[in-house]
Amino acid sequence: MTKLEQPTDRYNTGRATRQSILGEAHVARAEANVTDFDKPFQDLITEGAWGSVWSRDQWTNRERSMVTIALLAGLGHVEECAMHVRAAENTGATRDDISEAMLHVAVYAGVPAANTAIKAIKEVFEKLDTDKTGGQND
Domains of the chain from N-terminus onward: 1-58 (no CATH), 60-138 (1.20.1290.10)
| Residue 104: per-residue pLDDT | 98
Q: What is the C-alpha end-to-end distance of the chain, expressed in Å? A: 50
Query: Along the 138 residues of the chain, how does pLDDT read in single tens digits?
Result: 555 578 899 999 999 999 999 999 999 999 999 999 999 999 999 999 999 999 999 999 999 999 999 999 999 999 999 999 999 999 999 999 999 999 999 999 999 999 999 999 999 999 999 998 887 655
DSSP letters, 3-31, are TTSPPPHHHHHHHHHHHHHH-HHHHHHHH
| Residue 5: per-residue pLDDT | 74
Asked whether 102 and 114 are in contact (CB, 8 A), the reply is: yes
Distance CA 70, CA 101 (A): 6
**φ, ψ for residue 61, nearest 5 deg:** -65, -35
| Residue 27: per-residue pLDDT | 95
| Residue 135: per-residue pLDDT | 72
Asked whether 47 and 8 are in contact (CB, 8 A), the reply is: yes
| Residue 126: per-residue pLDDT | 97
Distance CA 20, CA 137 (A): 30
